[in-house]
Amino acid sequence: MEKVVMIIMIMFALGINHWSCTGLPRYADPLVDDAFNASVSAANARIHGRFLYRPYKSSLKNESVAEDNSRNLFFEFYMQKTVCRKRIGANPFTCAFQRRTSRSVVKCESRATVIENTLYYAIADCFFIWHSDSTFQT
């Protein structure tokens, strides 16, 4: 009986936290996490429009170390338009997705360079793809 109560409590706790999470795995290495956040910022800067985009799916595709010990991190991620406007300077990870029948989705590939445990720069290339509610999952 105690085991069943414990399982129900865990499921309840996870259910409450479900609405506040971004749905993305946070990277174990804080520097990789910072590089991903910088990549999202670089992508939002390049996307024309008034609204921020928030990632809902991401992966670290490759990591390479150069002879000068700099690390190049290559990410691929998908983002959807949020309700937050760019000009207010909100954190896209805290913004809710826009709820519409047709959703504008952006696929991005980025590269972030880390030199001596400091994020040097991040660049992102993005393009739009479109999904309907039947194919989009958050």
Domain spans in the chain, listed from the N-terminal domain onward: 2-132
CB 55 within 8 Å of CB 70: no
pLDDT score at 22: 47
pLDDT for res 89: 82
- For residue 18, the model assigns a pLDDT of 37
Q: What is the pTM of this model?
A: 0.75
Cβ(74)–Cβ(109) below 8 Å: yes
pLDDT of residue 102: 62
- For residue 136, pLDDT over 90 is answered with no
Residue 126: CB atoms within 10 A of its CB come to 19
Question: Which of 80, 54, 75 minimizes the C-alpha distance to 136?
Answer: 80
Is the predicted pLDDT of residue 111 greater than 60, yes or no?
Answer: yes
Task: Name the average pLDDT for the chain.
Answer: 82
Domain 2-132 fold is: Nuclear Transport Factor 2; Chain: A, (3.10.450)
CA separation for the pair 83, 98 (Å, rounded): 5
In the predicted model, is pLDDT for residue 126 greater than 60?
A: yes
* Angle subtended at Cα 80 by Cα 78 and Cα 127, rounded to the nearest 5 degrees: 55
Q: What's the whole-number mean pLDDT along residues 51-70?
A: 93
Residues 61-87 have pLDDT tens digits of 999 998 888 999 999 999 999 999 998
pLDDT at 104 (0 to 100) = 78
pLDDT at residue 93 above 50? yes
Give dist(CA 5, CA 32) in Å, integer.
Answer: 38
Residue percentage of the chain with pLDDT more than 70: 74
- Statement: residue 20 has pLDDT above 70: no
